[in-house]
Amino acid sequence: MKAFRGKPSIYEKSGTALRKAELEIRGIALRFGGVIALSNIDLSVRNGELLAVIGPNGAGKTSLLNCITGFYRPQEGKITFNGEDITYLPAHELVGIGIGRTFQNIELFPGMTVLSNLFLARHTHCSYGLGPASLFLPSVRQEEIRHRRILEEIIDFLEIQSLRNKPVGSLPYGMMKRVELGRALALEPTLLVLDEPFAGMNLEEKEDMVRFLLELNRAWGQTMILVEHDMSIVMSIAKRIAVLNFGEKLTEGTPEEIIRHPEVIKAYLGDADTI
């Protein structure tokens, strides 16, 4: 695994170079009363892949991500991560085994600084308890130094050095989205789940986010699931695309295959010649 900007990776030094992330979804069904959100969904995410999930509003995309990340529990089916059944694990345990996410609506603490928001994500990697922390023992100091080094690497990568001490609530929306990505990276996820990370951004902000995600995927080998409505972005960065419609999977394939699939064109894309 290579590091950002060609420097030795702190992740690699800390023994997290084994970035295996293989997700298997088989026969997932999710219902809310009489409303069928997902029906018999089969999907796999391969190690090191950037998989996009697309579909019209109400297709079940966010519901699928919520099942993967433990916010929803499907009534049927099975989800495995690196061979382990995670179907009914709570969200905090999934974070512990390497699944991190960003949200469609920003879920940051606006009154706290950028650095403080990032530090919150490191609690899953803290090995010390309240007693040693209150005494600030040498072991605690050493661990805090390591946490700070990882966060500084993320801050450098996302180019938010000048924002580290600013309250998140004072930042432009696009920068908030960037900070939320940073907080997800601070979890050291092997699988990164992204729910509409480009929503609400202007063109320049989108271009920056595309650059960050591509470098994450190529330099760190970061495995990612991406839900996004901007088809120009999806077609340019995804290696494989799955299409949902009314809670069912229409098809999956490469961008070239998806753009010419007749059912996808009918349900979502429109005229393939204009995509």
Beta bridge mates, 113: 167
pTM confidence score:
0.85
Q: In the chain, where does DSSP find H-type helix?
A: 10-13, 61-68, 91-96, 114-120, 130-135, 138-158, 173-186, 203-219, 231-237, 255-259, 262-264
- CA–CA–CA angle 154, 21, 259 (5° rounding): 90
| Residue 29: other Cβ atoms inside 10 A | 16
- What strands lie across the sheet with 23-32, from one edge to the other? 35-45, 23-32, 76-81, 84-85
Residues of the chain with CATH 3.40.50.300: 19-98+190-275
- Residue 56 is given by DSSP the state S
Q: How far is CA 175 from CA 44, 123, 148, 206, 241, in A?
A: 31, 23, 21, 11, 27
Per-residue pLDDT of the chain (275 residues; tens, 9 = 90+): 344 444 445 455 443 445 789 999 999 999 998 899 999 999 999 999 999 999 988 899 999 999 999 999 999 999 999 999 999 999 999 999 999 999 888 889 999 999 999 988 887 776 666 665 666 666 666 777 787 889 999 999 999 999 999 999 999 999 999 999 999 999 999 999 999 999 889 999 999 999 999 999 988 889 999 999 898 999 999 999 999 999 999 999 999 999 888 888 877 655 544 44
CATH (residue range 19-98+190-275):
3.40.50.300
**Euclidean distance between CA atoms 240 and 52, whole angstroms:** 6
Query: b or e along 90-123 (b: 16 or more beta carbons within 10 Å of the residue's beta carbon)?
Result: eeeebbeebbbbbbeeeebeeeebbbebbbebbe
Instruction: Give me the pLDDT at residue 140, please.
Output: 65
Give the model's pLDDT for residue 243.
94
Query: Quick count: other Cβ atoms within 10 Å of Cβ 33?
Result: 5
